[in-house]
Amino acid sequence: MALVLNEDEVMLRDTAEGFFAEKAPVKALRTLRDTNDETGFDRALWSEMADMGFAGIAIGEDHGGVDMGFQAAGLLAEQMGKNLTASPFLSTAILAATALREAGSDAQKSEWLPKIASGETVMAVALDEGPKHNPAGIETTAEKSGNGFKLNGAKAMVVDGHVADQLIVAAKTDDGLAFFLVDPKAKGVEIERTIMVDAHNAARIDLNDVEVDGDALIGETNAEDALHKMLAAGRGIVAAELLGAGSEAFRSTVEYIKERKQFGVPVGSFQALQHRSSHLYSELEIARSAVLGALTALDAGDENANRYCSMAKAKLGEVAKLAALEGVQMHGGVGMTDEYDIGLFLKRVRVLQELLGDAAYHQNDYAKANKF
Amino acid sequence: MALVLNEDEVMLRDTAEGFFAEKAPVKALRTLRDTNDETGFDRALWSEMADMGFAGIAIGEDHGGVDMGFQAAGLLAEQMGKNLTASPFLSTAILAATALREAGSDAQKSEWLPKIASGETVMAVALDEGPKHNPAGIETTAEKSGNGFKLNGAKAMVVDGHVADQLIVAAKTDDGLAFFLVDPKAKGVEIERTIMVDAHNAARIDLNDVEVDGDALIGETNAEDALHKMLAAGRGIVAAELLGAGSEAFRSTVEYIKERKQFGVPVGSFQALQHRSSHLYSELEIARSAVLGALTALDAGDENANRYCSMAKAKLGEVAKLAALEGVQMHGGVGMTDEYDIGLFLKRVRVLQELLGDAAYHQNDYAKANKF
Amino acid sequence: MTDMNLDEFRTEVRGWLAENCPEEMRTPVEGDQDVCWGGRNFEFQSEAQKVWLERMAAKGWTVPTWPTEYGGAGLSRAEEKVLLSEMRKINARSPLTSFGIWMLGPALLKFGNDEQKAEHLPKIARGEIRWCQGYSEPNAGSDLASLATKAEDKGDHWIVNGQKVWTSYADKADWIFCLVRTDNTKGKHYGISFVLFDMETPGVEARPIKLISGRSPFCETFFEDVKVPKENLVGEENKGWTIAKYLLTHEREGIGAAAPMRPIHEVAAMSLGLDESDRLADPMLRTKIAEAEIDDWAFGLTMARKLAESKAGQSMGADSSMLKYYGTELNKRKFELMMDAAGHDGLEWESERSRDGKLARSWLRTKANSIEGGTSEIQLNIISKHILELPGA
Amino acid sequence: MTDMNLDEFRTEVRGWLAENCPEEMRTPVEGDQDVCWGGRNFEFQSEAQKVWLERMAAKGWTVPTWPTEYGGAGLSRAEEKVLLSEMRKINARSPLTSFGIWMLGPALLKFGNDEQKAEHLPKIARGEIRWCQGYSEPNAGSDLASLATKAEDKGDHWIVNGQKVWTSYADKADWIFCLVRTDNTKGKHYGISFVLFDMETPGVEARPIKLISGRSPFCETFFEDVKVPKENLVGEENKGWTIAKYLLTHEREGIGAAAPMRPIHEVAAMSLGLDESDRLADPMLRTKIAEAEIDDWAFGLTMARKLAESKAGQSMGADSSMLKYYGTELNKRKFELMMDAAGHDGLEWESERSRDGKLARSWLRTKANSIEGGTSEIQLNIISKHILELPGA
């Protein structure tokens, strides 16, 4: 397993590092938040990301992508986590692209994947419905209706749902779970943007007797395998983003406690904080391996890849949370202020850990998979 | 609720403190262990404890006890925990006495309680069967047979089982769970002493077609209420013993790190150890309240008393374990040697936390009781 | 006082409350907007809130144990307990919350002179003057004794210059009790004085700080040539550190005691549902909730025990640090679990559904618990030094 | 080396192993009695164990990467990996375990002179001489540099006096590699020398220490006027600290890597059974097991990653402290869970059923993991200082 980055990957990481730090630093998120930006991300930035090949990172070259795989996508996500960058990378380039790539017909792939890779189309996947991630509990239905289907249900936590040009809706059919392409402007679709604690995009979407054509069905009516591949990719990438956010929260905290003085000495010279910092360093190193292991397994088509992505999401949910909590506490009073960035990391990590299943969800899933 | 000891209780505690420190200190346990003592405790000590009123602490005055209640019993147990004292206090004075007091007929109480209070009779309660505490899963059966019953089953972790003059066996009848008085010498009873990691008594007991008379049945054939009262008392008292063991592990560790030097200074001057010690101090204070709260509730007949005893056992299982683990680690290399006492505390705490349900068991029970 | 008298008192209280506590004041406090802080510029949320304050103040029950001459009712601790328990029974809200009642009042009763008591205490009791606390300074944080706000001696008054931070509600307060440095020639703890002054004195400015919760309960407060008459000194000049420490202990006890909230497992059960064995559908979260709720029970008992011990004459001493440390860390843990239980719903920040992110904002607010009033680290230092007596602590 | 060559090598190895590894040596190691330590007085547990050692030693595969002139096979790291993976496939036991292979060998290869290498390495490779390590001293603990065992210069030899503790298996070892103080006029780290001597030298005495696990793997070792020839000095006089540090890093990596064991959840499922939803009957324990097993997976990846990085030329540096810290703490956690899973059965200390308390003794043994080879606290200090570069660390 490639646990050490190869030359291409190092180059990509370095490029991404410079790119996001310059074009989409934390300050950019603050601006989006404080101006109540309607889109919730910078469309020009997304175009640039597409030009860099980022939008097509997980799309085949025959469909206009650069096909570098999920390990590479994770390197981008890590940098976005570090900068709290808002972009439709997860919703469109990872979730939608993987759903289409895994389940779509040739025609569907040819139609949509190039548009994703070029940055032309923003897509959102509408999956969860209740307050917690629960793909096994989807209740949205797709009934046969004429040549097509009629969709009914209510979705929550749809990332980029209010700005998507196209929705992918997961719904139950008689044959199993399936994905449907739905025009957000179609009759019966109601979209409410939900402003979240982390100032990133999410929406609730109601589907009331929404009629779609037969070719809105992505691939077949039993898309369980594609669903699981998409979930694995999404979890692995969110884990990578958590790694970036957690590592940056840690880095900036260590820097802060080196400078900040109390009782005449830097607070970072207090051994209790040193040990907690060193413990956290260790956890972050372990967490980094989990992300690398999961994403390389996914790229390698390892039979346990989906499981590893779930495990990585569990681990990163816990570690990034610890990094954010320790970061806030070690910042002391200023950690409470909106002026310092550490609070934004606390908020972003809270959302990311919830997204696609929190640590408890994946620990439980691990136990189920291992029959205990 | 009496969370502060009254004068009588303070006096009892002070008496007990002196008594156990003098008569049954840790050294006494070492002697029992190193001489492979067949009884596993000091019979003369038990007589003295009876003379002091300790054996009859939870027995009514009409049956020769001093009837001071479980709060008082907890004060004794705490001192025994502190000294790792081996005695049949838990098996006989708490578990057996409570089972008889709660479920027994007047004749049974008149026959047995005075013998317990006087120290004449050692009794053991045979309850658990599998590797984990599970009173709801008892499979030992008592079938009607002539005027009496026929018992079949296998018991484990019977405290003082190999030296008891009389056994109390929990078994299923057609009407529910019941307690039976069984002579350890009766035909079909096979007792194997199991030498435990903490050098305290336990045994496995097999029951093969053991015939007992009708009056061997303690009270009625549905003794669920008595069982739960006995379990609550046992858990509360074991929690108190854990409090004593945990507190002493902590006290001796703090003392050790004040003296022990490394890099030219006492290791107790390192802030990381100071913070861990202070955290542990806090946990032990919280744990002490849990024990006091549970045992006073039990004495007061509070409707939630059984629940509180379970909660106290959960809390003490965790806190005493933390105290033992931190104690061993902070002792460094010498903590690994048999010569120092801290290892004995680690072992005793491990057994006590398992006895009558570990923290996980009681947390689960809490959740069930609160319907989540 | 005998139990008999207490029973009579209970009957009297019950009757009075039944008659005088408005229905609206018998519903749970939902947020800061429901709290009555009093003060010159306070806008009552409702007529009921105003009436409730007036009636309670007239009885002396906003500060039940204070002497009657200062606006209290002169109740014993046992009677106060009866009053509070009867109020709890009908879910009566606290008629008045303030730093004056909670912090300054006890300090004045102990350290103030007769004029100061007569001047300030009744106004606190009636909710006429709202106080704030001027302790922390930039770059001092937990290191309170290193404060730099300077008071220059001008004979009958001082001229105060400097800056405070984390002054709770300074923008809404009428007066401030404040630590200033009146001597910097000796050790850090000597030379601090405890003074009172009006926030409308020229040269005082309070600027709210925006927090991660989106709220601004704290201010940066600036003093530029603020004139403070010498009669506003509490206790002795240069010996304000004693009063400051006394107040910090009070503050710690208060912060450790979190407001009662709905059991986490109920929120989780609603949000997640139960499985076929009637267990929370997320067994992992279930574990942590059980653990936290058991800790919560035991912590509540510990608060009661330490209070009982201190009433029985044992000084609480550094155990207030233990309570502050454990209580605030537990409260943070509980709110993390609440957020876990609420899931996606709890993450909404601006919506009617989430009552404008009520849970999320409360969750973020708890992060300050282990910082304000002395950080958790400071409390652990205090335990190490004063209770465990570890070397060099 | 190309992949083609590696594939050929794999085929060769597989064939040789199939033919030469005795059946008995293809079963899991159950305890220390199954480990082949070698040495003058070693009693082979079986003929198979002896034959296996001899055959492997003849191939140079007890120390595959050492040069052939010193008893190794001169394999590349990649070839070694192939050998180990083929051995794992057939569950072949390690033919020889020793501090000589693991610690002294690498140090001699790096710091020893030609005579020393020729003298000692082949005997290590063939399991003829068993070594122990003389580092820790009473009252020094983790503070290795403060060692006091004194070597007095007598021209062509030293006279060594002093005491070591925690010397693993000193009572069974033939030779010792030992830190002694040859100069105490300068700093703590200067003046330490790294010497070798025979445990049968007059004046050497090893007394086993009884541990909480009931075992005695460690000794107190006493030196009274022990004569050590100067040619037994490794590296430069007074500069043994460099070698000691090098070895400590090796030790840390080794201790961090716990032996593979049966998944905890399997033990728990056997002990506790599954409920009607096919979940472990104890949902709380289930949580913690899942957590620990996920950590275990990620830690394994981290070991592999750090090894890969160090092969790729990045020095592991202080990350060996991170691995040591995390690995040992995790191992302790796993054994606590094993004990939880085993319940009453795991508490038996002397019985056939419990194989004489095998689990309980292993559990107790793990408590030493976070102490030996530098405590967890020391590792955290090292990380703070060398990786995070925190002030004053």
Q: Are C21 and C91 contacting, i.e. CB atoms less than 8 angstroms apart?
A: no
CATH code, C330? 1.20.140.10
Dihedral sign computed on CA atoms, order C350, C354, C357, C358: positive
Rounded to whole angstroms, how far apart are CA atoms C264 and C80?
30
C211/A197 Cβ within 8 A = no
**Beta-carbon contacts below 8 Å between A and C:** 120
C344/A347 Cβ within 8 A = no
Residues C273 and C374 in one domain: yes
Residues C265 and C381 in one domain: yes
Chain C residues close to D290, C-beta within 8 Å: 284
Residues D216 and D307 in one domain: no
**Is D251 one of the annotated active-site residues of the chain?**
yes
Q: Are D235 and D242 contacting, i.e. CB atoms less than 8 angstroms apart?
A: yes
Q: Shortest Cα distance from B361 to chain A (angstroms)?
A: 17
Query: How far lies A33's CA from each of A42, A334, B202, B266, D167, in Å?
Result: 12, 20, 65, 52, 62
Q: Which tokens is A192 given?
A: 């409410």
C301/B292 Cβ within 8 A = yes
B363/D377 Cβ within 8 A = no
Chain B residues close to D212, C-beta within 8 Å: 335-338, 343-344, 346-347
- Average pLDDT in the C133-155 region? 84
A281/D387 Cβ within 8 A = yes
Is residue D119 assigned to a domain?
A: no
Q: Pick the catalytic residue from D137, D251, D253, D329.
A: D251
Burial B91-127 (b: 16+ CB within 10 A, else e): bbbbbbbbbbbbbbeeebbebbbbbbbbbebbbbbbb
- Condensed to tens digits (0 to 9), the pLDDT of residues C45-63 reads 999 999 999 999 999 999 9
D279/A372 Cβ within 8 A = yes
Quickly count: other Cβ atoms within 10 Å of residue D132's Cβ. 28
Q: What is the DSSP letter of B12?
A: H
Portion of chain A with pLDDT greater than 70, in percent: 100
Residues of chain B with pLDDT under 70: 1
- Token pair 């009558």: residue: B356
Higher-confidence residue of A366 and C313: namely A366
Q: What is the DSSP letter of A130?
A: S
Query: For chain C, which residues lie within 8 Å of any Cβ of chain B, measuring from their own Cβ?
Result: 263, 265-266, 268-269, 274, 278-280, 286-287, 289-291, 293-295, 297-299, 301-302, 304-305, 308-309, 312, 319, 322, 325-326, 377, 379-381, 383-384, 387-393
- pTM: predicted TM-score of the whole model, two decimal places: 0.87
Note whether A257 contacts D: Cβ–Cβ < 8 A: yes
Residues C14 and C61 in one domain: yes
Rounded to whole angstroms, how far apart are CA atoms A212 and A186?
9
On the CB side of B39, CA atoms within 13 Å amount to 14
pLDDT score for A77: 98
Q: Which of D97, D120, D139 is the last residue of a domain?
A: D97
Chain D residues close to B358, C-beta within 8 Å: 340
Q: What is the mean pLDDT of chain C?
A: 90
C54, C64, C63: which is closest to C9 by C-alpha? C64
Chain A residues close to D294, C-beta within 8 Å: 290, 311, 314-315, 362-363, 366
Q: Give kind and range of the element (H or E) at residue B156.
A: strand B148-158
Q: Give kind and range of the element (H or E) at residue C57.
A: helix C47-59
pLDDT score for C224: 97
The number of distinct structural domains making up chain D is 3
Q: Which tokens is C285 given?
A: 């979260």
Note whether A347 contacts C: Cβ–Cβ < 8 A: yes
pLDDT score for D1: 46
Residues of chain D with pLDDT under 70: 1-4, 30-31, 140-142, 252-261
Chain C residues close to D276, C-beta within 8 Å: 276-277
Q: What is the DSSP letter of C256?
A: H
Quick check: helix, strand or coil at residue C314?
A: coil
Q: Give kind and range of the element (H or E) at residue B342.
A: helix B342-354
Domain locations in chain B? 7-122, 124-218, 224-369
Homologous superfamily of domain range B124-218? Butyryl-CoA Dehydrogenase, subunit A, domain 2 (2.40.110.10)
The residue segments making up the domain with residue D363 are 257-387
Q: What is the DSSP letter of D28?
A: -
Note whether D294 contacts C: Cβ–Cβ < 8 A: no
Per-residue pLDDT for C1 more than 70? Answer: no
Quick check: helix, strand or coil at residue A87?
A: coil
List residues of C with catalytic annotation: 251
DSSP conformation letters of D82-102: HHHHHHHHTTPPPS---HIII
A286/D295 Cβ within 8 A = yes
Chain D residues close to B337, C-beta within 8 Å: 209-212
- Average pLDDT in the C40-48 region? 93
Q: Which tokens is A109 given?
A: 């792939």
Residues C232 and C326 in one domain: no
Residues D232 and D272 in one domain: no
Rounded to whole angstroms, how far apart are CA atoms D21 and D128?
20
Note whether A7 contacts C: Cβ–Cβ < 8 A: no
Query: How far lies D60's CA from each of B199, B287, C189, C369, D5, in Å?
Result: 48, 59, 72, 64, 19
Residues C138 and C228 in one domain: yes
Q: Are A116 and C327 contacting, i.e. CB atoms less than 8 angstroms apart?
A: no
Higher-confidence residue of A180 and B3: namely A180
pLDDT score for D347: 96
- Condensed to tens digits (0 to 9), the pLDDT of residues A51-73 reads 999 999 999 999 999 999 999 99
Query: D239 pairs with which residues across the strands?
Result: D192
Is residue D102 assigned to a domain?
A: no
Which chain A residue has its CA at the smallest distance from D305's CA? A3
Rounded to whole angstroms, how far apart are CA atoms A30 and A25?
9
Distance of CA A317 to the CA centre of its chain: 12
Q: Are C36 and C95 contacting, i.e. CB atoms less than 8 angstroms apart?
A: yes
Chain C residues close to B370, C-beta within 8 Å: 263, 265, 293
Go through chain A and tell me how many residues it has. Answer: 372
Query: C164 pairs with which residues across the strands?
Result: C221
Torsion of CA D37, D40, D44, D50, to 10 degrees: 90
Q: Which tokens is A205 given?
A: 């979407």
ipTM above 0.85, yes or no: yes
- Condensed to tens digits (0 to 9), the pLDDT of residues A306-361 reads 999 999 999 999 999 999 999 999 999 999 999 999 999 999 999 999 999 999 99
Backbone angles phi, psi at B357, to 5 degrees: 105, 125
Is residue D80 assigned to a domain?
A: yes
Q: Identify the band that residue C217 occupies on the pLDDT scale cut at 50, 70 and 90.
A: confident
Q: Which of residues 188-227 of B touch D (CB under 8 A)?
A: 194-199, 202
Rounded to whole angstroms, how far apart are CA atoms C161 and C163?
7
Report the number of secondary-structure helices (H) and strands (E) in chain A. 11, 10
> Using CB atoms within 10 A of its CB, is residue C146 exposed (0-12), middle (13-18) or buried (19+)?
middle
Note whether B274 contacts A: Cβ–Cβ < 8 A: yes
Is residue C126 assigned to a domain?
A: no
Q: Which tokens is B16 given?
A: 């007990």
Rounded to whole angstroms, how far apart are CA atoms A312 and A286?
10
Q: Which of C207, C239, C271 is the last residue of a domain?
A: C239
- The domain made up of B224-369 has a fold known as Butyryl-CoA Dehydrogenase, subunit A; domain 3 (1.20.140)
Q: Which tokens is A310 given?
A: 């779930």
Note whether A263 contacts C: Cβ–Cβ < 8 A: yes
Rounded to whole angstroms, how far apart are CA atoms B237 and B312?
10
D289, D263, D295: which is closest to A311 by C-alpha? D295
Query: How far lies D188's CA from each of B81, D185, D204, in Å?
Result: 44, 9, 25
Rounded to whole angstroms, how far apart are CA atoms B281 and C12?
43
D384/A277 Cβ within 8 A = yes
Distance of CA D365 to the CA centre of its chain: 14
Chain D residues close to B322, C-beta within 8 Å: none
A270/C377 Cβ within 8 A = yes
Q: Are B149 and B173 contacting, i.e. CB atoms less than 8 angstroms apart?
A: yes
Residues D299 and D233 in one domain: no
Quick check: helix, strand or coil at residue B119?
A: coil
C348/A197 Cβ within 8 A = yes
Residues C233 and C272 in one domain: no
Q: Identify the band that residue C141 occupies on the pLDDT scale cut at 50, 70 and 90.
A: low
Quick check: helix, strand or coil at residue B30?
A: helix
B257/C384 Cβ within 8 A = no
Q: Identify the band that residue C88 occupies on the pLDDT scale cut at 50, 70 and 90.
A: confident
DSSP conformation letters of B159-224: TTTTT-SEEEEEEEETTEEEEEEE-TTSTTEEEEE-EETTS---EEEEEEEEEE-GGGB-S-S--H
Quickly count: other Cβ atoms within 10 Å of residue B73's Cβ. 27
Q: Are D358 and D207 contacting, i.e. CB atoms less than 8 angstroms apart?
A: no
Residues C24 and C78 in one domain: yes
Query: How far lies A327's CA from each of B79, B131, B347, C127, in Å?
Result: 42, 43, 37, 39
Per-residue pLDDT for C199 more than 80? Answer: yes
Which chain A residue has its CA at the smallest distance from C288's CA? A360
Is residue D392 assigned to a domain?
A: no
Q: Are D271 and A258 contacting, i.e. CB atoms less than 8 angstroms apart?
A: no
Backbone angles phi, psi at C390, to 5 degrees: -75, 145
Residues C63 and C36 in one domain: yes
Is residue C235 assigned to a domain?
A: yes
Which chain B residue has its CA at the smallest distance from C310's CA? B4
B366/C294 Cβ within 8 A = yes
Note whether A128 contacts C: Cβ–Cβ < 8 A: yes
Residues C383 and C263 in one domain: yes
pLDDT score for D88: 87
Q: Which tokens is C43 given?
A: 């806008």
> B7-122 sits in which CATH class?
mainly alpha
